[in-house]
Amino acid sequence: MEGGALRRVAKALRRHAGPQARRTRPLHLLFQKPHRKRPAHFPSVAVGFQSIIIFLTLCTRHRKPLLANNEAARLIIEPWRAANFWRVGRYVIMPNYIHLFCAPNTVPAQPLKS
């Protein structure tokens, strides 16, 4: 809708709805697409023999910069190297979050839960 037509529609709606129409969202906002603050996350689906690669972002509580030292990085990386069931690929360790790609390496012989 053009500006003039939009104003005429808004004026007609106010006339029919009375003073309550002024308390709702402005009419031009009704025609806008919603904006997401965060992207939609879809569940991973295993189809056939496709490989599964998962991208993770892990944040510290209250975004405190707890990871801004070599000791924290060492404590994170060493268990990744020793792990058998999941492999960690490329990663970035920032002061308050970690980005990483991971994929299943082997299927456990016994289920984690019974």
Q: Rounded distance, CA 90 to CA 100, Å?
A: 6
Quick one: pLDDT at residue 93?
Answer: 95
Residue 104 has pLDDT above 70, yes or no: yes
Is residue 10 classed exposed, middle or buried when 0-12, 13-18 and 19+ CB atoms within 10 A define those classes? middle
Q: Rounded distance, CA 19 to CA 21, Å?
A: 5
Pairing of strands 86-93, 97-104: antiparallel
Its pTM stands at 0.51
Ordered by start, the domain boundaries in the chain are 1-35, 36-108
Determine contact, residues 103/51, Cβ cutoff 8 Å: yes
pLDDT one-digit tens code per residue, 54-93:
999 999 999 999 999 999 999 999 999 998 888 999 999 9
Residue 25 has pLDDT above 90, yes or no: no
Where is 86: in which H helix or E strand? strand 86-93
Predicted confidence band at 94 (pLDDT cuts at 50, 70, 90)?
very high
Compute the average pLDDT of residues 34-43: 67
Alpha-carbon radius of gyration of the chain? 26
Pairing of strands 86-93, 54-59: unpaired
| Percent of the chain topping pLDDT 90 | 35
